[in-house]
Amino acid sequence: MRFRKSQRDETPEVIIVSLIDVLLTIVIFFMVTTTFNRLAPLQISLPESSAEARDRPAESLELSIDAQGRYYVLGRELVNTQLETLKRALLDAAGGRESPPILLSADAKTPHQAVITALDAARQLGFTRLSFATARAEAESKR
């Protein structure tokens, strides 16, 4: 008695389920381990002034406002432009100091309301040592 082999075309099968598991694991690994950095730091075009430049105190808090009115405390953008959010960020950055010096760097095209809100937040927190960052006026620097 002879047994016949079946003459079917046996093509190799690729099991997709295990490949999907491996790919998902790799994607999750890259998502968890990747850090996202902003390529360009905050760009602020400071207003001009003819006043003499002073050295910035080392312990000062830097509060920046860009041309769209977004706030940055110590270089980190706040989640919104509300007064309470700004006050909380300033308190956290102060680290328990009563009245740290604040250096306000506002873009020349910043909406006036954004600067007033920043000043109001500092006043409500009792921060009275405030200075404005400016660029040297072009006409004055050529003398």
Closest C-alpha to 99, from 130, 78, 55, 133: 130
Say if CB 51 and CB 90 are below 8 A apart. no
| pLDDT tens for each residue of the chain, 143 residues long | 666 665 666 777 777 778 888 899 999 988 888 776 655 566 666 666 665 656 656 678 899 999 999 999 988 999 998 999 999 999 999 988 888 889 998 888 889 999 999 999 999 999 888 888 877 666 444 44
Domains of the chain with bracketed CATH: 48-141 (3.30.420.270)
Element (H, E) at 76: strand 76-77
Q: Which residues contact 132 (CB under 8 A, 6 or more apart)?
A: 103, 104, 105, 106
> For residue 65, how far is the Cα from the chain centroid?
12
| Euclidean distance between CA atoms 125 and 31, whole angstroms | 39
In degrees to the nearest 10, what's the CA dihedral of 123, 98, 101, 132? Answer: -10
Alpha helices in the chain (DSSP H): 16-33, 83-94, 112-125, 138-141
Closest C-alpha to 110, from 40, 47, 42: 47
